Amino acid sequence: MNYRHAFHAGNFADVIKHIVLARIITYLQDKPGAFRIIDTHAGAGLYDLESDEAQRGGEWLTGIARLMQARLSNETVALTKPYLDIVRAFNPKGELKAYPGSPLIARGLMRPQDRLVACELEPKARKALIGVLRHDEQARVVDLDGWMALPAFVPPKERRGLVLIDPPFEAKDEFERLGEAFSTAFAKWPTGIYVIWYPVKSRRATDTLVQAVARLAAAAKPPGDCLRLEFSVAPQLDGAALTSSGLLIVNPPYTLQGELKTILPELEMPLGQGGAARFRLEVPKPYP
């Protein structure tokens, strides 16, 4: 395992993923019933933006730093507030020095009745995550392969909640593994909300995954919905940092698509690199 999220923390892909994560958790807060967040590939939790890794690529400078300075409509300010309030809480002096990863964003939006399970396999990242969540009785960090945890941890006993599937896509077969693990998990818990992150490099790989997931969702009883979001900040050049990423959301809250239609157009200018960014938001078809 070579992947270190510290190089990428707070980049455009994190920003889009974490806005969506926070919108879904905010929706889950509307009902008093407890929910559980299952983060299958959780990362280190908190990233030092002054570290060598973060400084080297400087990816956060074109991600969270741009968003924090963007002029947004009142509506988008309100919709991104739950996420940005958490980022601000980790930067109390105003200057951006730290970036919270998905477990801390989830944790920041949980109520006393809610729970978080976070899997992280890389020992240093896991140790860091255990450190930031120490003494936290609502959060559990597990030393378990996320691909095993995904089917094993569902359905949660609360029967409400969200599974974030955010692997590093280092292995060549990661798209296939994701499809297989999702299929087993979804069969056990067809009413859960699943958020699947993917890099957009091969159109064939992404379309195959999206169609397979959409087919499974459509065949469930009652049928589940899917929402596909892709965000591209620049054309992808060979060997360059990732410029386009996707999220596939299974059983999204009915409010999410409308919220994203408000938020995403306002992120095209601030997050674009050498021109405006572009997004795609659609309900995917199960068949080509």
Element (H, E) at 89: helix 74-89
Minimum distance from residue 163 beta carbon to ligand SAM (Å): 12
Indicate whether 229 belongs to the interface with ligand SAM (CB under 6 A): no
The candidate with the shortest Cα–Cα distance to 260, out of 281, 283, 231, is 281
* Residue list for the binding site: 18, 41, 102, 120, 145-146, 166
Minimum distance from residue 227 beta carbon to ligand SAM (Å): 18
By CB under 6 A, name the one of 15, 16, 19, 42 that touches ligand SAM.
Answer: 42
Catalytic residue from among 39, 166, 173, 225: 166
Token pair of 114 as six digits: 């809610």
Indicate whether 231 belongs to the interface with ligand SAM (CB under 6 A): no
Indicate whether 3 belongs to the interface with ligand SAM (CB under 6 A): yes
* Residue list for the binding site for S-adenosyl-L-methionine: 18, 41, 102, 120, 145-146, 166
Contacting residues for 93 by C-beta, under 8 A, at least 6 apart: none
Task: Indicate the length of the chain as a whole number.
Answer: 288
Site for ligand SAM in 181-220 (CB under 6 A): none
Rg, Å, the chain Cα set? 18
User: How many CA atoms lie within 13 Å of 53's alpha carbon, on the beta-carbon side?
Assistant: 13
Indicate whether 41 belongs to the interface with ligand SAM (CB under 6 A): yes
Evaluate the CA torsion angle 212, 262, 116, 67 in order and state its sign: positive
Alpha-carbon gap, residue 69 to 187, rounded angstroms: 43
Site for ligand SAM in 89-148 (CB under 6 A): 101-102, 119-122, 125, 145-147
- Residue closer to ligand SAM by CB (options 4, 215) is 4
- Return the amino acid letter for 96: L
Site for ligand SAM in 154-173 (CB under 6 A): 166-168
Whether 173 sits among the annotated catalytic residues: the reply is no
Indicate whether 179 belongs to the interface with ligand SAM (CB under 6 A): no
Indicate whether 43 belongs to the interface with ligand SAM (CB under 6 A): yes
Size of the site for ligand SAM (CB under 6 A): 22
Which stretches within 117-276 are classed as H helix?
123-132, 146-152, 174-188, 203-219, 256-271
Indicate whether 265 belongs to the interface with ligand SAM (CB under 6 A): no
Alpha-carbon gap, residue 64 to 84, rounded angstroms: 9
> Are 47 and 98 contacting, i.e. CB atoms less than 8 angstroms apart?
yes
- Residue closer to ligand SAM by CB (options 190, 196) is 196
Indicate whether 152 belongs to the interface with ligand SAM (CB under 6 A): no
CA angle (164 as vertex; 162, 166 as ends), nearest 5: 175
Active-site residue list: 166
Residue ranges that bind ligand SAM, judged by CB under 6 A: 1, 3, 5, 14, 17, 39, 41-43, 101-102, 119-122, 125, 145-147, 166-168
